[in-house]
Structure 1
């Protein structure tokens, strides 16, 4: 891997915009079994921006896994698997229905590390987001590229997660995963193509999206506290599949909340903190 070549992408920038329509908000709320106002000027749901202005590569330019071919805005990392490793959201104001949201994205860093599973390449992207000219959100996105799992990696036993003081059970149905992929225009086959994910990627089932877990945890935090957080940080630790229900968990931590997802009796999949 030529890290010096990949680091030439640092500083690369792109800008994308999309209007927050009532129909988009309606589909977003339906996906998460939520209710909310969709009229012009209404506050849009938390993290709906993840569904706005997604990359729209032509179908002919997608790779065999459904992702856009390497290169372009993101560096062409020569490792087969790309995942959301974590990130952070700082909320400055609310997005409102009918406004045009603009995302200005910049590659901040490209780093190669050696982990227990082999070579890892981390790409950090900063998104500065405004809505009708108002700064509403700053997002740091951590993307990790890696090779296939080492033999026996899936057999490693991780400790079970504790039960949160607040706890909700979620059924990660194939329909839910497909709907979120459609909302975000995400063609990655690991989220909707069961034969592909089992036969080609070697996973036991469809993979639950990292952004969807982050959205559910942020919504959970908002419901518990009665207001959206000012800061939300999260990190992915292990995957969730559609072969079993998982839980959203939250426990008070000072003035904020510590949150996590986990199988009903399984290890932590995603951990997060929310502050107000």
Structure 2
């Protein structure tokens, strides 16, 4: 891939937008071993998952993992562009956020699950530092009892930064949270989550690549891991709470160069919880809202 690409011409954009409507159907089984592993990674003392144990919110990301052969992996550790997702030539790819809705019945250990995915939109935006391309993917997860989970997944592609590019101003994180926890994003935490999700993206474990090729100051903490930590903070403070909806948006990257904080504050009526993350400089890095049953 040409890592100097910063703009998309009309023909290339039209080709990428032809992916809209493309679908993919995958099957997987909800097994116990990944749940035990993520519980240990999050430093939880959970009971051993048994058949029928409900899948915690966002832990479905342990399943339907990418299984491209080694020869099909691109230079950034992701699968080579094309296939189900459009072959976007812009080099940086990020998980920008998402929206999830849980239905009845819930996913459980022992379930055979089918995931139907569809490219909902491919949207272009001309930014100050080059083009941005937003790909919206919708997933629906079904078990034998029906539709269990709907998810909209936002992916953004952009150019590598250049000297002199304008930097978006950071946003200060809110203060006075009801709940707060400090997270140390060391190499081991990032490695374990990459391994659990079979994520080969080098920005999470290859320090030389992420600093010298992509120009970041350190290893990047996975967006899905941060979202999972936010929901885990809710679970720790509201045991037994059941999520109906969860939406999150990545605002600013989090790096392994310093600890960061996760925060939460429930609404007065207890129906929603505002969740957010703050880096070591006090800047907002992720914002989320959980709606409870």
Number of the residue aligned with 1:79: 90
Decide whether the 8 Å contact of 1:88 with 1:141 is kept in 2: yes
Shift of 1:271: 0.4
1:184 maps to 2:197: yes
Partner Cα distance (1:207, 1:253) in 2 = 31
> Counterparts in 2 of 1:133-152, with a 5 A limit?
133-151=145-163
Partner Cα distance (2:15, 2:24) in 1 = 19
Number of the residue aligned with 1:228: 242
The one of 248, 254, 262 aligned to 1:240:
254
Residue 211 of structure 1: SS of its match in structure 2?
helix
Number of the residue aligned with 1:172: 185
Shift of 1:153: 5.5
Number of the residue aligned with 2:275: 259
Decide whether the 8 Å contact of 2:57 with 2:243 is kept in 1: no
Partner Cα distance (1:159, 1:122) in 2 = 22
Q: Which runs of no fewer than 5 residues in structure 2 stay unpaired? A: 1-7
Distance of aligned partners of 1:159 and 1:87 in 2 relative to their CA distance in 1, 3 Å threshold: closer
Partner Cα distance (2:162, 2:144) in 1 = 47
| CA offset digits 1:64-104 (Å, max 9, x no partner) | 11111110000011100110111101011421111122211
Number of the residue aligned with 2:207: 194
Shift of 1:266: 2.2
Q: Is the deviation greater in 144-153 or in 226-235?
A: 144-153
Shift of 1:156: 6.1
1:51 maps to 2:62: yes
1:62 maps to 2:76: no
Normalization by structure 1: what TM-score? Answer: 0.95
Decide whether the 8 Å contact of 2:17 with 2:122 is kept in 1: yes
Number of the residue aligned with 2:3: none
Number of the residue aligned with 1:6: 16
Partner Cα distance (2:135, 2:141) in 1 = 19
Distance of aligned partners of 1:144 and 1:105 in 2 relative to their CA distance in 1, 3 Å threshold: same
Q: Is the deviation greater in 9-18 or in 263-272?
A: 263-272
Partner Cα distance (2:51, 2:238) in 1 = 26
Shift of 1:244: 0.5
